[in-house]
Amino acid sequence: MDVINSLIQNSSLNGMPKWYKFMAISLFSVIVSLLLTMMTLLLIYGPNVNIRFGY
């Protein structure tokens, strides 16, 4: 919890309402978990996927 409080105090979220802090941290958490899920799926299924580039 000290890490989160330290990040909030040293960022632009300092002084913002609690709901705004919650929404910003929630959005960041959703994006990070989505990226980790996509990386995991690429590592598992990547060699079997045929990717074509072009129009």
Q: Does the pLDDT at position 33 exceed 90?
A: yes
**% of residues, the chain, pLDDT over 70:** 98
| pTM score over 0.75 | no
Domain boundaries, the chain: 2-47
Confidence of residue 32 (pLDDT cuts 50, 70, 90): very high
Q: Which pLDDT does position 36 carry in this prediction? A: 97
Q: What is the residue-wise DSSP string for the chain?
A: -HHHHHHHHTSTTTTS-HHHHHHHHHHHHHHHHHHHHHHHHHHHHGGG-------
Confidence band of 30 (pLDDT split at 50, 70, 90): very high
